[in-house]
Amino acid sequence: MESLELSQQALDRLKAEFEDRTTTRRKEIVARIEEARAHGDLSENAEYDAAKNEQGQNEGRVRQIEDILKRAVVVAHDANDDAASSGCLVELRYDGDTDTTTYLMGSIEERHDEYEVLSISSPLGQALTGKHPGATVTYQGPRRELSVQLVAVRPI
């Protein structure tokens, strides 16, 4: 089983989401299903179909979170290390651009309000991992090879 690196914040957020989905949300969905059943014929009951679909989506996410939690390994970016790694912010300048873009490196489960997540398993994430500011990396994009300069690495 392959481990999945997460920050402590992401792990805590996933545990809270798991708790909500397996308790409160499940009860709410079951209540909607029961209410829709009370309206009669299930074959033409849009409320029932919608509630059952929501139940399926919820249970799918519960299974996904269970898998993530089993594989999770908490990592913290060392503030004294300026190498790009999971849990840090990377400031990048794409070849030909003058502006920079900042990403949070890590798992997609690291969701953040301010920053887009750059998956460490993506071609760019793999190329950047272990690199220091000033490095230029080349990676295979969807249509062509791209170059990116690592401008800065900082803790979140």
Q: Tens of pLDDT along 100-125? A: 999 999 888 887 788 999 998 899 99
Distance CA 107, CA 88 (A): 11
User: What pLDDT is attached to residue 81?
Assistant: 78
Nearest to 103 by CA among 59, 95, 94: 94
Taking only the tens place, the pLDDT of each residue in 23-45 is 999 999 999 999 888 877 777 78
Count of beta carbons in the 10 Å neighbourhood of residue 55: 16
Domains, the chain, with CATH or none: 4-74 (1.10.287.180), 88-155 (3.10.50.30)
Task: Give the pLDDT of residue 77.
Answer: 66
- Whole-model pTM? 0.76
Neighbours of 24 (CB within 10 A): 10
Task: Please say whether the beta carbons of 107 and 119 come within 8 A.
Answer: yes
Q: Give the pLDDT confidence score for residue 46 in this predicted structure.
A: 86
